[in-house]
Amino acid sequence: MWNDLRPIGRDPESNGYRRFAWTGADADCRTWFQEQAETRGLTYETDRNGNQWAWLGDPTAGDAVVTGSHLDSVPDGGAFDGPLGVVSSFAALDELRARGAEFTKPLAITNFGDEEGARFGLACVGSRLTAGKLTREAAYELRDADGVSLPEAMEAAGYDPSAIGADPERLARVGAFVELHVEQGRALDLSGDPVGIASAIWPHGRWRFDFRGEANHAGTTRLVDRRDPMLSYAETVLAARREAELAGAVATFGKIAVEPNGVNAIPSLVRGWLDSRAADQDTLDTVVTAIEKAAHDYADRHGIDLDVVRESFTPVVEFQHALRDELGAVLRERTGRDIPVLGTGAGHDAGILSESVPTAMLFVRNPTGVSHSPAEHAAEDDCLAGVRALADVLEGLACR
């Protein structure tokens, strides 16, 4: 499975993955998923929001145990963020069949669409739509950098967007959702464990800062006559770092658009996107408010107009304790050791679904902690330990 996926959407220069929603690379990943389902005799379907499902047992029976993740990537992403969870789900099913497990509940494997939000700016679009956290109307307004709307992109990829929206009837048939994911930090490396269990996801959001000044000639415009939005933007980036450090939070400007984007032109517009996250809501609010205030102060000083728009927000997720404890107990019994329980600053479909269904996550050790980069890695032995852990957990949930 890993070999099949390896070339899909990989950029030969960066070695990073560019698997953006509803593009050719995404279509190839989706075809791969469907083939994996059909090869195993599973019932394949795409839901109204374009998420893929592969069912063992009756999809309508209810109390289904569902596992999976996503196959899309950030720009120049690594191989593991998302695909490790989907590949491990199929591998865990193979392992359970080899064990002769008898399923008493339906089991499904999923690929949630557009988890990273790399193309339309909003993360977890597939799971948000399904959980009713993104309305059909708002989804219809999403556009990529070329102005292509989400429904246009879905249509171009051969999907009918007209029925997108909340799917409570589907979620009501799910008894538990478990997502396995590569760890995006070094907690497991430091504790010496191949696998961990998630406790919580930090609240996080994305804010767009539009600094507008005046385009002018880079050679002939006196410094005192300039209204250069790049200066206010640069000062805001430094303020974000400072405020995050003070509060023990994180804040990142990782994406920027400049107009007219000429070497010899003072910009008329600098648009920067802030991603900020913290362990609790109050801290996050404090950090973002302080960054906004600093940005307005700098903008005023340079004669720059500033608009700040919150493009998305995900509140703190505390995974259900009962399911988390159940996973811990199953894994302790199978491995003879206590499994570490970790919080994370990364967003996941599991977090989006957690208000609608009992949800849990497993993490697999990442020796450097690097993620959202081609350097993202997990050792094969650890991936196999992850598969065994997921199989143990699924057996505990679906075979009793």
Question: Which residues contact Mn ion by CB under 5 A?
Answer: 81-82
C-alpha Rg value of the chain to the nearest Å: 22
As a whole number of angstroms, the distance between CA 195 and CA 183 comes to: 9
Residues that constitute the known binding site for Zn(2+) = 70, 81, 116, 181, 372
Buried b (16+ CB within 10 A) or exposed e, 242-259: ebbeebebbbebebeebe
Work out what residue 392 binds among Mn ion, ligand GLV, none; the CB cut-off runs from 5 to 8 Å by kind: none
- Burial label for 33, CB within 10 Å (0-12, 13-18, 19+), is buried
Site for ligand GLV in 90-119 (CB under 6 A): 116
Least distance (Å) between residue 363 CB and Mn ion: 11
Least distance (Å) between residue 116 CB and Mn ion: 5
Work out what residue 123 binds among Mn ion, ligand GLV, none; the CB cut-off runs from 5 to 8 Å by kind: ligand GLV
Work out what residue 82 binds among Mn ion, ligand GLV, none; the CB cut-off runs from 5 to 8 Å by kind: Mn ion
* Residues 328-367 as x/- pattern, contact with ligand GLV by CB under 6 A: ------------------xx--------------------
Chain centre to alpha carbon of residue 21 = 12
Residues that constitute the known binding site = 70, 81, 116, 181, 206, 264, 277, 372
Name the residue nearer to ligand GLV (CB basis): 116 or 243: 116
Q: Residues 6 or more apart from 144 whose CB is under 8 A from it?
A: 119, 120, 153
Residues that constitute the known binding site for allantoate = 206, 264, 277
Please count the other Cβ atoms lying within 10 Å of the Cβ belonging to residue 241: 15
Name the residue nearer to Mn ion (CB basis): 81 or 144: 81
Interface with ligand GLV, residue 123, by CB under 6 A: yes
DSSP state of 177: E
Least distance (Å) between residue 30 CB and ligand GLV: 19
Question: Would you say the C-alpha torsion 362, 368, 370, 376 has a positive or negative sign?
Answer: negative
Interface with ligand GLV, residue 299, by CB under 6 A: no
Least distance (Å) between residue 307 CB and ligand GLV: 23
Cβ atoms of 342 and 327 within 8 Å: the answer is no
Interface with ligand GLV, residue 77, by CB under 6 A: no
Chain centre to alpha carbon of residue 2 = 20
Site for ligand GLV in 210-239 (CB under 6 A): none
Name the residue nearer to ligand GLV (CB basis): 115 or 382: 115
Least distance (Å) between residue 302 CB and Mn ion: 35
Of the candidates 285, 267, 63, 334, which has an alpha carbon nearest to the alpha carbon of residue 174?
63
Q: Residues 6 or more apart from 155 whose CB is under 8 A from it?
A: 161
Contact set with ligand GLV (CB under 6 A): 116, 123, 346-347
